[in-house]
Amino acid sequence: MKIVAVEAISYSIPYRTPLHFASGAVHEADHVLVKVTTEGGVVGWADAPPRPYTYGETQRSIVAVVEDVFAPELVGLSVFDREKAQRIMARTIHNECAKGAVDIAMWDCIGKILGQPVSRLLGGFTDHMRVSHMLGFKPAEELLELALGFRERYGITTFKLKTGRHPIGLDVEAARVLREGLGEDVEIYMDANRGWSANDAAEVLRRTDDLGLTFLEEPDDAREVLGRRRLVTQSRIPITADESAPNMGEAAREILTGGANMLAVKTARTGFTESAKVVAFAEAAGVDVYVGNQIDTQVGTVASVVFGAALAHTARRAGELSNFLDMTDDLLAEPLTIKDGAIRVPEVAGVGTQIDPDKLEKYRLR
Ligand code: MUC
Ligand code: MG
């Protein structure tokens, strides 16, 4: 079934609680919906979040690359020809989230055409994903109050603490207050978004050694090659590559050159097709992964749930699937719910990214 249109629709939804982290901040979901239409009128949807501080993409660059560069090449292709679409999009370097969204929207069409949930088509390992909540920069006591609230209300027992601040004592204190307030059974890990040097990170690891943290993500700029390698070699917990591994090739390079020994997999940037290749590489290499958050709306989050639950290697750990709770509204026709610390895979044909037309009309920018 041929693709007849590939469109990019900008929209903006304010956040109730902005998220602050070492590389930037998010006050509104100024994202782009990617819509793929096939002959016969099947429509697939996916969300592309612009993250200029991570990938260099903006809302306008995503619209431009999808509509001006990808669409003319993809129209006329069978929607089942995902690998051909990958090759076409790979001719344009970078633009990770634009490519990821086109792939997911194609998968949504495929699921709808076959009358199957895409999670089943991708592997069908389980029917839910455990949720990890990402905590942005805030005073330690406020972070604890928030985390206790998320545990009480949604049953969430895994938390990512955004770090990378100076003085480093701020983050050490936040981790300690969380551990003492939440107890031993809660999983806590840190993500510094390159905010520290390798030496800062080594000092933080030394000072948090007794806190039972699960892993440390993107402590410093991975291009500081020797510092990063030293950290990976010396750390007692895994060092995770996130923005230093935005695609399959760079994920392999970071692992094989000792820049990291764990990987974040984000469907927002590698879609389903390339994410599956990243996971296969990691599984074969004996490297743990977790499903990360690109500060996703519900449209982005449901894609992460669908992918994460499909494969045994991604379903092992909680995925970051709850930051849409900080938004004032969302676009998904069937809103997601978090119960007992988990989100269930929607039992619908496709990805479950169906859009509420009234909400899209309200928030779209053009
Ligand atoms: C994360 O894991 O880093 C913050 C910046 C970004 O690109 O993603 C978020 C979360
Ligand atoms: Mg990260």
Which tens digit of pLDDT belongs to each residue from 106-126? 999 999 999 999 999 999 999
- Answer yes or no: 218 catalytic: no
Mind listing the pLDDT tens digit for each residue in 229-287? 999 999 999 999 999 999 999 999 999 999 999 999 999 999 999 999 999 999 999 99
pLDDT score of 366: 67
Q: Is the domain of 145 the same as that of 276?
A: yes
Alpha-carbon gap, residue 346 to 47, rounded angstroms:
17
Residue ending a domain, among 91, 116, 141, is 116
Pocket of ligand 1 (CB under 6 A): 21, 23, 51, 54, 191, 193, 242-243, 292-295
Q: 52 C-alpha vs ligand 2 centroid, how far in Å?
A: 14
Single out the residue of 257, 350, 365 nearest to residue 42, CA to CA: 350
- Please enumerate in sequence order all residues whose Cβ is within 8 A of that of 93, keeping only pairs 6 or more positions apart, or say none: none
Alpha-carbon gap, residue 87 to 65, rounded angstroms:
15
Mutate to test the pocket of ligand 1, among 51, 216, 296 (most ligand atoms within 8 A of CB): 51
Question: What residues make up the domain containing 56?
Answer: 3-116
- Answer yes or no: 83 catalytic: no
pLDDT score of 276: 98
Residues by chain with Cβ below 5 Å of ion ligand 2: 191, 217, 242
Q: Is the domain of 95 the same as that of 174?
A: no
Alpha-carbon gap, residue 93 to 250, rounded angstroms:
13
Q: Is the domain of 11 the same as that of 137?
A: no
Query: Look-up: residue for tokens 């839910």?
Result: 128
Alpha-carbon gap, residue 59 to 52, rounded angstroms:
9
Mind listing the pLDDT tens digit for each residue in 293-309? 999 999 999 999 999 99
Whole-Å CA distances, 207 to 170, 234, 287: 12, 14, 26
Q: Is the domain of 259 the same as that of 178?
A: yes
Alpha-carbon gap, residue 20 to 137, rounded angstroms:
5
Helix pair 225-234, 198-207: axis angle to 10 deg: 20
Decide if 136 is inside a domain. yes
- Answer yes or no: 294 catalytic: yes
Q: Is residue 63 within 8 Å of residue 10, measured between CB atoms?
A: yes
Q: 364 C-alpha vs ligand 2 centroid, how far in Å?
A: 28
Whole-Å CA distances, 26 to 9, 13, 171, 321, 339: 19, 11, 20, 16, 26
Q: Is the domain of 264 the same as that of 140?
A: yes
CATH code of 41's domain = 3.30.390.10
Whole-Å CA distances, 68 to 22, 56, 64, 232, 365: 33, 18, 5, 41, 18
Q: Is the domain of 236 the same as that of 335?
A: yes
CATH code of 147's domain = 3.20.20.120
Alpha-carbon gap, residue 103 to 51, rounded angstroms:
18
Q: Is the domain of 99 the same as that of 204?
A: no
pLDDT score of 154: 98
Q: Is residue 60 within 8 Å of residue 25, measured between CB atoms?
A: no
Q: Is residue 158 within 8 Å of residue 187, measured between CB atoms?
A: yes
Which SS3 state, helix, strand or coil, does residue 9 take?
strand
ipTM above 0.90, yes or no: yes
Q: Is the domain of 164 the same as that of 77?
A: no
- Please enumerate in sequence order all residues whose Cβ is within 8 A of that of 139, keeping only pairs 6 or more positions apart, or say none: none
Single out the residue of 354, 321, 287 nearest to residue 35, CA to CA: 354
Count the alpha carbons within 13 Å of 207 in the hemisphere toward its beta carbon. Answer: 15
- The CA-CA-CA angle for residues 309, 312, 316, to 5°, reads 80
Q: What average pLDDT does the chain have?
A: 98
Decide if 59 is inside a domain. yes
Single out the residue of 269, 219, 228, 268 nearest to residue 248, CA to CA: 269
The Cβ of residue 66 has, within 10 Å, a number of other Cβ atoms equal to 27
Decide if 223 is inside a domain. yes
Number of domains into which the chain is organized? 2
- Identify the band that residue 35 occupies on the pLDDT scale cut at 50, 70 and 90: very high
Q: 295 C-alpha vs ligand 1 centroid, how far in Å?
A: 7
Structure-token pair, residue 94: 């970078």
Mutate to test the pocket of ligand 1, among 162, 193, 296 (most ligand atoms within 8 A of CB): 193
Alpha-carbon gap, residue 67 to 327, rounded angstroms:
27
Alpha-carbon gap, residue 57 to 94, rounded angstroms:
9
Decide if 206 is inside a domain. yes
**Chain center to CA of 314:** 12
Decide if 354 is inside a domain. no
- Answer yes or no: 86 catalytic: no
Q: What is the mean pLDDT of residues 203-221?
A: 98
Say which DSSP state 323 is in: G
Q: What is the mean pLDDT of residues 211-229?
A: 98
